[in-house]
Amino acid sequence: MDIKETHWSPLLLDWFAAHGRDLPWRDASPRDPYKVWVSEIMLQQTKVETVRPYYDSWMEHFPTLRDLAAASQDDVLRQWQGLGYYSRARNLHQAVQEVEAKYGGHVPENRKDVQSLKGVGDYTAGAILSLAYGKKEAAVDGNVLRIFARLYDIEENILSTAMKKEITALVQEQLPDKAPGSFNEALMDLGAMVCIPKHPRCEACPLSSLCLAHELGKEGELPVRIKKQKHPVEAITVLAVSQGTKWLVHRRPPQGLLASMWEFPSVQGKGKDGLDAACRLLEGLGLQVSDIEGPVGEVKSVFSHKTWQMTVYTAAAAGEILQEKEAWQWLERADYTRLPWAGPHGKITAMV
């Protein structure tokens, strides 16, 4: 049987009916487009088991799109804390506010409008439209690219724009008229549980008899992906400064990495150079520090484009903040939980 001439979606859907994962965002039919949207944004670059408790907590705080649109950014970021890639939360918040204002709270039902929303790309748009509205739209992510590279013995780089378009066209050909959302979810589950990277479980695959890579013994070689470029490691000195029972915290700028989130005073550099730079930062605010201790701990934080290697010190302060008061404040330890912390700085709260 030639896979290129076979409509094999029934095989996949039968497998999905028997083996599909029980996930909290698959709790209703028809599906709520808001819940589909939230789950797909959370699942970007994050494992399902990590997302489960965050999704449940999120829905307790923001059970409807309208609830999220009305929430403050700080509350949104606080609920997202720990998932990383905080721009996803800010984009989601901004996008639901647009849906509320422009579409009366109804998530658009066509690709052009839904994909115009902040943070919604090809994959998320396809997921929302197929899962919530039953539209015959492909949702192609890394799992799907891997599955199709093996099924069709594709040896080109699956991350190239041309190959993504070609695979999307192949997915579109297989999409059934009925239950296209189930087909897309079946592909997600097949990629997560069976057609996994490196060592696929071909013996459990409903499509193994059609798979060209399996027939040729190439399933371990495919897909072909460009190698990730190594990203730089930045040394960061964190000087956590106390005054009495309070600690000095800083709100990051509204744009850029970890935008609008809170951190302890931090500068680039390490050792004496890093501490000198941190002291100069504080002097610019009118603070003198003494009793520098440490390192009291180290934190490594990996972002998509860089890694922070952070060394944490503590110090006592005298004087008042004279400049940039709106971006700095003194905070009691008991109030740590009320702030959305900038990624790794949430871990530092346990050190100081």
Q: Which CATH class is domain 3-216?
A: mainly alpha
Is the pLDDT assigned to residue 76 strictly greater than 60? yes
Average confidence (pLDDT) over 85-96: 95
| Residue 230 banded pLDDT, cuts 50, 70, 90 | confident
| Residue 321 banded pLDDT, cuts 50, 70, 90 | low
Give the pTM.
0.80
Residue 231: DSSP 8-state: -
pLDDT in tens, 265-299: 999 999 999 999 999 999 988 889 999 999 999 99
Residue 214 to residues 200, 203, 260, Cα–Cα distance (Å): 10, 10, 49
pLDDT in tens, 20-70: 999 999 987 789 999 999 999 999 988 999 999 999 999 999 999 999 999
Cβ neighbours, 10 Å, residue 282? 21
Is the pLDDT assigned to residue 323 strictly greater than 70? no
Average confidence (pLDDT) over 123-136: 97
| pLDDT at residue 322, as a whole number | 54
Q: How would you classify the pairing of strands 233-243 and 307-318?
A: parallel
- Average pLDDT of the chain is 93
Q: Which CATH class is domain 233-348?
A: alpha beta
Domain spans of the chain, in order of start: 3-216, 233-348
Alpha carbons 81 and 341: distance in angstroms, whole number? 7
> Any idea which residues carry the catalytic annotation?
40
